Chains A and B, each alone.
Chain A
Amino acid sequence: MGRLTALAILLGVIFTLSYGSGAHIAVRYLNPSFGAWWNANEFAIVECAAAAIGMLIGIRVGARLVQGGALRNRSMIAAVIVSALALPIVGRVSAEVARFKFTSGGSVQAWLIDGFGYDLGSILDKLLMAGVYSIKIALFALPVGMILFGVAIAVFMTTEPAGDTAGATSK
């Protein structure tokens, strides 16, 4: 679970930085066909990685709130599988919601260009925009991960024997 989250974070950071800085040009320079693939898919990977990070963190937060043991482990595995299946849809919806404006962002852009000059300020603004977009997607996907874990807990709770009948059932 930890490795999966780390992988999602790594992918998210790499592709967000790549999209924000236009790094596909460097990849194209090394391998034109791979660079073209990279450029065509990096935005979708940014969205999916951000949604995956949000859902995985949601599942981990949910698991921390639940009494340990086999019930929690089974629920985590089931929630991760369902999250993986739902990732394209959750990523798409979260990305759509994340695109809605919260502030205009004009003042930040002006401040960056004012502080770092037009060229560097524009690159930093695009990086910031991509970073904020990823964080927003992850934040919208987080409750989805938590509640997928909750549903898994609810499903597995119904199959667990009660305290006073557990011994008899296992025998």
Chain B
Amino acid sequence: MFSLRLVVLFVHIVAVIVALGGSLFSTFALAPVLAAELDAPTRLRVARRIVRRLGAIVLTSLAVLVVTGLLNVLFIGGVSILLAIKLILVVLVIGLALYQYGNIGTQIWRAAGPSPEVAELQARFRRVGLTVGSIVLLIVYLSLGLTRGTGAIVESIR
């Protein structure tokens, strides 16, 4: 019930929920409300703080995901093609998240005030966030295939 394997899996799933949930909430709930309720300078100020806080949360969650993911592979005890594809997608997600928060997010953070360029950056920030979210969902689906699908890695090892 309280094995190390279960705890690692629990932390892994919680990290996915935090990373994905935060991005989805920011894109679909917070951004439209900010756009409707606040004037441009205030909206940029709030968006900048959100970018920074969300960046810290998402990137830390991804770090937890990578560490617990490697431990999960140890517990599963095998590597399949499905897992290799998943690992490639994980690297892609980390790269996109770094680009989203470290590049676009930093430019938004450093912007002096509202401008068409900043609006374009914010739109790109949301697009990259949606792409990251979609790939994370694909990874979750692949994970289900790894543990519960017909060609589950656990079964193939046994």
Contacts and interface: CB of A to CB of B under 8 A. Distances in A.
Interface residues of A, number: 35
B102 A66 contact: yes
Nearest to A149: B98
A97 B63 contact: no
B59 interface: yes
User: Taking chain B's interface residues, is the majority helix, strand, or loop, or is none over half, making it mixed?
Assistant: helix
Contacts, number: 110
A157 B101 contact: yes
- Chain B interface residue bracket vs A: 35 or more
A162 B101 CA distance: 14
User: Which of B60, B74, B102 has the most chain A CB within a 10 Å cutoff?
Assistant: B102
A142 interface: yes
B6 to A, nearest CB: 19
User: Taking chain A's interface residues, is the majority helix, strand, or loop, or is none over half, making it mixed?
Assistant: helix
User: Which of A97, A102, A149 has the most chain B CB within a 10 Å cutoff?
Assistant: A97
Contacts of A153: 55, 59, 98, 101-102
A144 B80 CA distance: 20
Interface of B: 45, 48, 52, 55-56, 59-60, 62-63, 66-67, 70-71, 73-74, 77-80, 84, 87, 90-91, 94-95, 97-99, 101-103, 105-107, 109-113
Interface of A: 61-62, 65-67, 71-72, 93-94, 96-97, 100-102, 139-140, 142-144, 146-151, 153-155, 157-158, 160, 162-164, 166
